[in-house]
Amino acid sequence: MATPHSPQISISEQEKAVLLKITRQTTADFREVCRGRLILEIGKGQPNAKIAQAFNCGVRKVRHWRNKWLKHQATLKQIEADPEKNKHLEKIIRGILSDDPRSGTGHINFLGRG
């Protein structure tokens, strides 16, 4: 049975340089480093299952980060094309690699006080 073909992501040289910088920083957040490495590997064109096996993680995780990068790919290209915004490329990429906001009850006051 054939597996579905994973959509390709493109990583420009500037984006690759930022991702490599993040993955090599000793002070970077561990999750950010792992996600940066994952994006770099996805950019090589390997299928999700092969990447998941290499990174010892689930296919859902690889698919999530592939889709998240794809979602922001057009924005990244626009930022790179604009010299004024280009200086913010690292900040934007770090934002992409960060956790999505989660819904929850953290804002509710369980004691019933104002």
- What the block records as the tokens of 28 is 């970077």
User: What is the per-residue pLDDT for 16?
Assistant: 97
The total domain count for the chain is 1
Instruction: Let me know if residue 85 belongs to a domain.
Output: yes
User: 17-39: per-residue pLDDT in tens?
Assistant: 999 999 999 888 899 999 999 99
Taking phi over 0 as left and psi of -120 to 50 as alpha, with beta for the rest, 103 belongs to beta
What range defines the domain where residue 81 resides?
Answer: 13-97
Cα distance from N-terminal residue to C-terminal residue, the chain = 59
User: What is the per-residue pLDDT for 5?
Assistant: 76
- What the block records as the tokens of 17 is 């340089």
Instruction: Let me know if residue 51 belongs to a domain.
Output: yes
Instruction: Let me know if residue 23 belongs to a domain.
Output: yes
User: What is the per-residue pLDDT for 113?
Assistant: 46
Instruction: Let me know if residue 65 belongs to a domain.
Output: yes
User: What is the per-residue pLDDT for 27?
Assistant: 87
The mean pLDDT of the chain is: 87
96, pLDDT greater than 90: yes
Angle CA(60)–CA(25)–CA(31) in degrees, nearest 5? 25
Instruction: Let me know if residue 111 belongs to a domain.
Output: no
